Amino acid sequence: MKISVAIAYYNGGEYIKEQLESILSQLTPEDEVILSIDGASDGSEPFLTEWAEKDNRIHLLKGPGKGVVRNFETAIARCSGDIIFLSDQDDIWKENKVKKVLKVFRDPEIMAVLHNGILMDGTGAELPGKTLFELRNSRSGILKNLIKNSYIGCCMAFRRELLPVILPIPEQMYMHDYWIGTAAEVCGKVGLLKEPLIGYRRHDTNVTQMEHGSIGFMLKKRIGILKCLRLLKKRVKEQQAYGNE
């Protein structure tokens, strides 16, 4: 079973070496890491190029320059693995993360896996307190995740079979991870792993925020999500019809 890791990269030179080391140590020679680069003006481009030349599992792409969702979409579209892991550029994978996630995928009905994470500061030191699952009351369920999203991309992996359903990501969808998690629920089941399998780094430049936005902002986004859910169901029906031909 081939593994792909999709990373949306933007000026992540401060942390990317530590993250790539934690990922590559768990992959086989047949696996791949797809890095879509929206920007490397922090001087990290030579380092990324040199590493990709030394390790043929690393593939560098020019990102679309349209934000994190489109950058992840670019990386995901180039993945050729049977199981696709999403990864941020600044976290650290715990030992045996890949092995433990793949074990959940032994159930053929599982279309995606969501695992827990523990918070770290900018230096990589683990922070006391609640895990990501505890902070977000994480569980599956379309309605639950519409109200408060449990799906954090860096804690997710999904089957290749979801690609025709999730791509392209709708313009109204501002959370690629929520979109993928919901698609997995519509197409099958989501497996939950309560064990923290990454260190989730919190610092000033994080894209994902732990707090909600304003009520007006959240209402606008939820209306957009509802429109996307109708599109999702349409795509699923089309794929089912295609599979029955």
Q: What is the pLDDT of residues 123-142, one digit of tens each?
A: 999 999 999 999 999 999 99
Q: Please report the pLDDT score of residue 30 as a whole number.
A: 98
Q: Please report the pLDDT score of residue 216 as a whole number.
A: 67
Q: Please report the pLDDT score of residue 183 as a whole number.
A: 96
pLDDT band for 241, please (50, 70, 90 cuts): confident
Using the predicted structure, report yes or no on whether residue 212 has a pLDDT greater than 90.
no
Secondary structure of the chain in HEC code, one letter for each residue: CCEEEEEEEECCCCCHHHHHHHHHCCCCCCCEEEEEEEECCCCCHHHHHHHHHHCCCEEEEECCCCCHHHHHHHHHHCCCCCEEEEECCCCEECCCHHHHHHHHCCCCCEEEEEEEEEEECCCCCECCCCCHHHHHCCCCCHHHHHHCCCCCHHHEEEEHHHHHHHCCCCCCCCCHHHHHHHHHHHHCEEEEEEEEEEEEECCCCCCCCCCCCCHHHHHHHHHHHHHHHHHHHHHHHHHHHHHCC
The predicted-structure confidence for 73-101, as pLDDT tens digits, reads as follows 999 999 999 999 999 999 999 999 999 99
List the structure tokens of 120: 């770290």
pLDDT band for 201, please (50, 70, 90 cuts): very high
The predicted-structure confidence for 31-67, as pLDDT tens digits, reads as follows 999 999 999 999 999 999 999 999 999 999 999 999 9
Q: ∠ at Cα 190 (186, 193), nearest 5°?
A: 165
Residue 22 to residue 18: CA distance in whole angstroms:
6
User: Is there a contact between 225 and 147 (Cβ–Cβ < 8 Å)?
Assistant: no
List the structure tokens of 178: 């929520």
In this structure, of 4-18, 93-107, 168-182, 197-211, the range with the lowest mean pLDDT score is: 197-211
What's the average model confidence in pLDDT over 177-189?
Answer: 96
Using the predicted structure, report yes or no on whether residue 14 has a pLDDT greater than 60.
yes
pTM across the whole model: 0.92
